[in-house]
Structure 1
């Protein structure tokens, strides 16, 4: 896939994800301008605050997951990833988060793989549940494991095909931009992506990145 084609997919995905909270901000401002009841104005301000926080949390996450976060340094502090994940998925209590990453830093590409796998797993928890994030470094490289568990898990078959490289590059939809980025980064690094979704209520993603 050409770089400009992937950029278009990514832009479409970002616009889709940001449309809801930013649209809520716009609606809240319009309601506030027409509302004179103090109690309703207070409620409008609460909604505006929630939408603003949601937008900021999404942007912080996308900055790390898709952008050039960390400047020109090769390694990125994994605490930034944890904060971004907690902001995106841990704010409303719908998803419980487990963090099992002892490494203080990761390469930018490894961190992008981890964050994008978390994004796919979190999106699959349509009714909430638990999301565990793990990574372990060893002599041969780095292993990343993301485990999602919930009452209902929905993984788009197209995303699974893209993750595993079983698809035509030219037919990839914007919703699969994160999956394509994971596949590309892992394959370029000589690694492998694994998906296990045969157990009811459990979804496992794995990525092995050679040293």
Structure 2
């Protein structure tokens, strides 16, 4: 495709999420109207509503993690609401410590790091995101972690001995995105904790 400063992967991620969020929002509005008039009730309605809410939250999360990012700030309230929506359908609890608005490109890095942590916590756990000065730390902890040594050892360089699968794409994107922002990724792992710094 030749030399270009356009990141096609980010643009594709943004486009897919943008096009999906509108119909998901319309379904959510329709379910709320059905609930208001009492047309449909019961566990079936709860299942549909919960699934649609979870899908919408994940799409909004992916739009930040995989989409194009700028230094336009995201506020704490918006980030906290997004995490709360995701937690409803997941096993991972998120603690977002920064209180101020954060540039979107840095939130993107934090979300990619969160996804790396989540991949190590199939039984659930907690992810804590903190910032001291210009240094970010994303720490995942749980009773039973499943750490893929090849992924975690090589996420600092972005060069992996084995082919990356779609479920592992965050491990490749994290060091690449960090490098664009002039940052380097550092990792620490134990049997109950994974730490990513950038």
Q: Residues of 1 paired with 2:56 and 2:72: CA distance?
A: 25
Q: Tell me the secondary structure at the aligned position of residue 98 of structure 1.
A: strand
- From 58, 67, 74, the equivalent of 2:72 is 74
CA distance in 1 between partners of 2:42 and 2:139 (Å)? 39
User: 1:161, 1:167 within 8 Å by CA — same for their partners in 2?
Assistant: no
Higher RCO (C-alpha 8 Å, min separation 6): 1
Equivalent in 77, 95, 103 of residue 107 of structure 1: 103
In 2: Cα distance, 1:170 partner to 1:128 partner: 26
**CA pair 96-76 structure 1, distance change in 2 beyond 3 A:** closer
Aligned residues: 174
Contact map agreement 1:147 1:203 (CA 8 A) in 2: yes
Please say if 1:203 is aligned against 2:197.
Answer: no
User: Scaled by the length of structure 2, what TM-score is found?
Assistant: 0.71
**CA shift in 2, pair 1:63/1:148, >3 Å:** same
CA contact (8 A) 1:163 1:182 kept: yes
Instruction: Confirm or deny that 1:96 pairs with 2:96.
Output: no
Retained in 1: the 8 A contact 2:158–2:175? no
1:144 matches 2:136: yes
For the aligned residue pairs, the C-alpha RMSD in angstroms reads 3.6
Query: Are 2:183 and 1:185 aligned?
Result: no
Q: Which residue of 2 aligns with 1:53?
A: 53
Match of 1:173 in 2: 165
**Alpha-carbon distance between aligned partners in 2 of 1:188 and 1:155, rounded to the nearest angstrom:** 26
Q: Structure 1 residue 93: deviation in Å?
A: 7.4
TM-score by length of 1: 0.67
